[in-house]
Amino acid sequence: MDLAFVLVSNKKSPDPSRVIASGKRLGIELRPAGEEKGILTFEIAGGGTFIAALMPAPHPDAPKMPIGPTSISAEEASAAPAHFILTALDLGGDARVRDKRMAALTATILDNTDAVGAMLGHGTFFHKAKLFSDVAARAKDEPMLPTEIAVDVTAARESADRMSFLTHGLERYGREEFYVTCPIKGKSALGFVYAMARWMLTDPNKQLPTGDTVGRTAEEKIPVQRVPNPSGRGGPVIRLDLP
For residues 206 and 195, what is the distance between their CA atoms, to the nearest angstrom? 14
For residues 56 and 49, what is the distance between their CA atoms, to the nearest angstrom? 22
Is residue 132 packed enough to be buried (19+ CB in 10 Å), middle (13-18) or exposed (0-12)? buried
Same domain, 120 and 20: yes
Same domain, 55 and 140: yes
Same domain, 52 and 120: yes
Same domain, 139 and 174: no
pLDDT(227) > 90: yes
For residue range 204-224, what is the model confidence (pLDDT) as tens digits? 889 999 999 999 998 999 999
Same domain, 209 and 105: no
For residues 106 and 50, what is the distance between their CA atoms, to the nearest angstrom? 10
At residue 204, the pLDDT reads: 84
For the chain, how many structural domains are there in total?
2
- pTM value is 0.94
For residue range 114-129, what is the model confidence (pLDDT) as tens digits? 999 999 999 999 999 9
Same domain, 203 and 225: yes
pLDDT(186) > 90: no
pLDDT(41) > 90: yes
What contacts 213, CB < 8 A, 6 or more positions away? 221, 222, 223, 224
Angle at the Cα of 63 (from 139 to 71), degrees rounded to 5?
30
pLDDT(141) > 90: no
Same domain, 112 and 172: no
Determine the structural domain holding residue 186 and report its residue range.
Answer: 151-241
Same domain, 105 and 198: no
CA atoms within 13 A on the CB side of 221: 3
pLDDT(147) > 90: yes
At residue 187, the pLDDT reads: 82
Same domain, 70 and 21: yes
Q: Provide mean pLDDT across the span 143-157.
A: 93
Of 144, 167, 188, which closes a domain? 144
Quote the percentage of the chain above a pLDDT of 70.
100
Same domain, 97 and 7: yes
| Angstrom distances, CA of residue 219 to CA of 198, 213, 216, 222, 233 | 21, 11, 8, 10, 34
Comparing 10-24, 45-59, 71-85, 132-146, the range with the smallest average pLDDT is: 132-146
At residue 144, the pLDDT reads: 83
